[in-house]
Chain A
Amino acid sequence: MKLLTHNFVSSRFLKDVKGGYPLKLSAQKIETKDVEFNEEFIKNIIPKCDFSALRSACESINEAANLPQTLPENWIENEELLKELHRLLFCIDIIEGELQCPDTARIFPIKQGIPNLLVEDEQK
């Protein structure tokens, strides 16, 4: 699971959960893959992302060192930052770990790169 996917995932489908975002991430095994840098792709996708959710996800896996606290206004011209965002969003792959609902503390395991967000009918 990439951090870009994490940025869109929510546990709002759980019973009595209104927000369910962002899910708390923890990782036991991470892989880094080479994904070709596509400037237009990253420039278009950043406005769709929640920066603070990305920042907290990066902190939880100790990858936030080169990421500012908030997205600077001139981010679109900052090539270094774009490359770092590309690395964080596209290249890091969470192989084993957990996602946790911020409201109910329910845990969703990530195994072999695939998070399991299935729940029983009565929990929806």
Chain B
Amino acid sequence: MSLNSAEVETEYVHSIYSRLATYQQKDTKSSSPRIWPRVKQFVDQQSTGSVILDVGCGEAKYTSTKSHVIGFDTCPEVLAASQKDHIDLALADAISIPVKDESVDAVLNVSVIHHLSTTQRRKMVLQECSRCLRIGGQMLIYVWAFEQPNGKFASQDILVPWNMHETAIGGRLPKIKFHMNTTKEQRIIAASIPICISDPTTSNRWFSGVLNKMVEQFQFPYFSKKSTAPESNNNINKNEKNSNSKLPSAVPQFLPTTNSIISGIKRWSPMLGKRLASLLVPVEEQYGEELANNIMRESITEAMATLREVTFYRYYHVFKENELNNLVDSIPELRVISTTFEHGNWCVIAEKIPENIIRA
């Protein structure tokens, strides 16, 4: 399956984070987000009075009382939910960071460039971060690794399921029985869908459009928590299967008519069906059918997610060993200081070097 690089980032990265933010707002305000010790250590190591950019800051997890942290993200819903003391937030793109040249002391680039869909675009982000860094300033980069201790990805470009039934709601993980011999990582890796990224500047948009239409006629075998048995994790079979299957949408689409949804939900959960049906009438009177349909679709997606039956998909490019180092090395003014492998991620600290050293 081929997807164009711009579309994949819009659909399987930006919109999905907006959607997830709306759930997290309601559910997990009390529980603190997962802090990575190494990232926090990097922030704390900066000398007092430093200016730190957190590019793709998401929930703005890394704050400081002795440095000025500016967090950038493209997702307004995530930023609006993440405002707090000791960090300033702005909507901006990692490829065009709105900051003066050579002005900041440190850059966090944590779990960002693995969401960009071409080597060229991943390099552009590193170049842009490097432009903002002063000479001697350092950048911390984290990406998800192709090499995983708990499984094997079928491809480096993948759609990774985000199973709501494995998401903590109200700070608690649900008690659901899984396959006895698999871990969460194994299931996620096994249920990832390999894709091909086509660059819109080199490929024919018309052709890929037609291809997508043709492919849409096939049913996609929906992954659920029941269908991730380890024995189905055969790369060749998976590729063949997916080459003539429809890709799942990033957010599941439900049936367009409200009545059929309600009757479906009623069968499955009489109580929820009743509640939704009672909601429907006044909403329709007030706002008209179109808006009501939208509200219904949203609320049902939400209800389903709450019931942990919904699978979201996010796009990742997972990095092979040395790939991140080579990407950093391709930028003349950056030098790799250290490389580590940590819980399935590649981590590089790079430093901006003076021009006279680059020439030498």
Contact = CB atoms under 8 A, between A and B. Distances in A.
Interface of A: 1-2, 4-5, 8-13, 21, 33, 35-36, 38, 40-45, 48, 112-119, 121, 124
Contact of B48 (A41, A115, A121): A41
Contacts of B98: 9-13, 117
B108 interface: no
Interface string B50-79: 110000000000000110101000101001
Contacts of A114: 76, 79-80, 83, 89-91
A9 B99 contact: yes
Contacts of A40: 48-49, 66
Contact of B49 (A8, A10, A41, A124): A41
B51 A115 contact: no
Contacts of B88: 1-2, 4-5
B96 interface: yes
A8 B70 contact: yes
Interface residues of B, number: 32
Contact of A115 (B47, B90, B101): B90
B97 A48 contact: no
Contacts of B103: 8, 48
Contacts, number: 85
Contacts of B100: 8-10, 12, 21
B101 A12 contact: yes
A16 B186 CA distance: 48
A24 B50 CA distance: 24
B104 interface: yes
A119 B96 contact: yes
A32 to B, nearest CB: 14
A1 B68 CA distance: 12
Q: Sort A-B residue pairs by CB-CB distance and give the 5 closest, nearest first.
A: A44-B49, A13-B96, A117-B98, A5-B88, A117-B92
Given A5-B88, A115-B90, A119-B96, A48 B83 contact: no
16 contacts: A1-B90, A4-B88, A8-B70, A9-B90, A9-B98, A9-B99, A12-B101, A38-B48, A45-B49, A48-B51, A114-B89, A114-B91, A115-B91, A117-B92, A121-B6, A124-B96
Given A42-B49, A114-B80, 19 more contacts: A1-B90, A2-B88, A4-B68, A8-B100, A9-B90, A9-B99, A9-B100, A10-B99, A12-B98, A38-B48, A38-B66, A40-B49, A44-B47, A44-B50, A114-B91, A115-B90, A116-B76, A116-B90, A121-B6
B289 interface: no
Nearest to B104: A8
B79 to A, nearest CB: 5
A105 B65 CA distance: 35
B48 A117 contact: no
